[in-house]
A and B are shown apart, each in its own frame.
Chain A
């Protein structure tokens, strides 16, 4: 092969790779641009504090849906954090065992299960037996999705804690449980919190598993045994309805969602960067 051909090909491929980056960033910029410009005009105080207006009347807001999203995501977190962290501890502490690799495999599998399927599962588990859609069922669905995220983060961060810390505790006569809970876990906690934050951000944006678990509710509700409105389901309902004013509100809702996700990701990024610097420093 001639030299100029090889060099030319190399330049071409390098250029194509750069082009791929641009191609992927274009939609990102476009989406952020539209969400921002269309959302900002409809986002006002009323949107955040008012209830939805009756059908046909303009105005109104999504106060109940925003609160609902917080409640459902919170329920998910309450359900997922203990399971995720403790199974993560097992996977890190007994890393070589067959159960540890099985649970790792199960978590990765669970992570790949489509959210709509999780929704159907939660429906069968928490809606069907009681013949009642509820915030609790929605929280269960979101919680199931959070477990693998929290478990994997916990495991990875526990493994990053220097073994000498644990060995020190054990040498002082601490039991394994004590060493893990009072020495290793606290050392890894900031990172785990970051992971939980990221998981929460991801889960707060889920729609599919809530469609037939938490359902929707036009009224203000904090009762977790009742159907509840969530931001995502509300955006979906408004987006597919033939109503200009609702479309406007859907964009505002999307802006709120993107703002939440963006803030959490940025916070997590900054926290991770700081931790990495700390680790390198020590």
Chain B
């Protein structure tokens, strides 16, 4: 780096651009603070009870948010179970297996999948996916029905549809991060494996092992996305606050209840209860994101060659 003498204009430049940088940092803090401030009524009224009870009845002034937490976590975890193998497969295919000419079209297509607005996924979910899921549910044989996982009315809308839509939406995120991570694995790792007589998969396994923390990070980043996803889930999950293992029953998520009830919340307590849900959603996604970034960064910091993106690698160090 070039060292210049600290002249007044240099100080001014640094100060002004720095002020904007500080603004961004303060902004993130302000989100947490503002949500906390606006949910005081609910926090004072219910305390921890808010997260331990199941009754959500705005008319009676009863607010228990446990079903929403359950719905959010359950749908996101299901989505993760479906999407992770697919995302990993894509990342491996693009970074290790596919011929050069196929690479950028594939990257472009997965990016496109990420670029499609959530509302379009929701629309497609309601009118195309939900009817298919309903038929699937109707066709479920009775003996399978007795398993709690597949019990419940064949409505189409419900946990299964939500998990499927979420999985489709999350795949491109996890895949693109996992691809970056694999790109940062030194070529020597693979060459060493091949030199010892490894098959293709064995060489890939070496690369995967080398990149393991980064890949966990990539999957967690997708998890964070799934937790906060709103529109598509709202449209297909059925919006019924109940805690159940069933894939067929309609349930509810934190983001969905905010989207549905916010403008209808007439009294302050209801509004504050909704904002408290927002606050907790903020905190949960914050934690998930920070952990996943740490994973990805620690992976990049392991020192690969300056392959992939120098900026990201340097940012890690």
- A residues in contact (CB < 8 Å) with B: 6-7, 9-10, 12-14, 16-21, 23-25, 27-28, 30-31, 34-35, 38, 82-83, 86-87, 89-91, 93-96, 99-110, 112-121, 123-125, 128, 144, 147-148, 151, 155-156, 159-160, 166-167, 170, 175-177, 180, 201-202, 204-208, 211-212, 215, 232, 235-236, 239-240, 247, 250-251, 254, 257-258, 261-262, 265, 269, 273
In the assembled complex, the Cα of A247 lies from the Cα of B127 at a distance in Å of: 9
Most B CB within 10 A of own CB, among A12, A102, A109, A180: A109
User: A207 — which chain B residues lie within 8 A by C-beta?
Assistant: 117-119, 230-231
Contact in complex: B228, A103 (CB < 8 Å): no
Contact (A176, B113) CB under 8 Å given A108-B289, A215-B263: no
Please tell me if B71 contacts chain A, counting CB pairs below 8 Å.
no
Chain B 253-286, CB-CB to A under 8 Å as 1, else 0, gives 0010011001100000000001100100110011
Q: How far is the CB of B291 from chain A (nearest CB, A)?
A: 11
Contact in complex: B200, A117 (CB < 8 Å): no
Contact in complex: B235, A96 (CB < 8 Å): no
Contact in complex: B93, A115 (CB < 8 Å): no
Contact in complex: A175, B24 (CB < 8 Å): no
Please tell me if B229 contacts chain A, counting CB pairs below 8 Å.
yes
Contact in complex: A113, B110 (CB < 8 Å): no
Q: How far is the CB of A113 from chain B (nearest CB, A)?
A: 6
Contact in complex: B13, A175 (CB < 8 Å): yes
Please tell me if B138 contacts chain A, counting CB pairs below 8 Å.
no
8 CB contacts below 8 A, A to B, read: A13-B200, A93-B14, A95-B314, A103-B25, A110-B27, A113-B285, A114-B228, A114-B282
User: B229 — which chain A residues lie within 8 A by C-beta?
Assistant: 114
Q: A208-B231, A211-B262 are in contact. List 8 more A-B contacts (CB 8 A).
A: A87-B24, A113-B286, A116-B255, A121-B31, A235-B119, A239-B122, A251-B127, A265-B115
Specify which of B92, B104, B121 is in contact with A31 (CB 8 Å cutoff): B121
Q: Which residues of chain B from 64 to 110 have any CB-CB distance to chain A below 8 Å in the complex?
A: 85-90, 92-94, 97, 104, 106, 108-110
Please tell me if B17 contacts chain A, counting CB pairs below 8 Å.
yes
Contact in complex: B21, A99 (CB < 8 Å): yes
Specify which of B1, B87, B109, B126 is in contact with A25 (CB 8 Å cutoff): B109
Specify which of B86, B221, B259 is in contact with A211 (CB 8 Å cutoff): B259
Query: 8 tightest A-B contacts by CB?
Result: A114-B228, A20-B89, A205-B117, A112-B289, A10-B199, A10-B201, A90-B17, A208-B230
Contact in complex: A114, B289 (CB < 8 Å): no
Q: How far is the CB of B102 from chain A (nearest CB, A)?
A: 9
User: B35 — which chain A residues lie within 8 A by C-beta?
Assistant: 117, 120-121, 124
Q: Which residues of chain B from 27 to 71 have any CB-CB distance to chain A below 8 Å in the complex?
A: 27-28, 30-31, 34-35, 37-38
User: B93 — which chain A residues lie within 8 A by C-beta?
Assistant: 17-18, 20-21
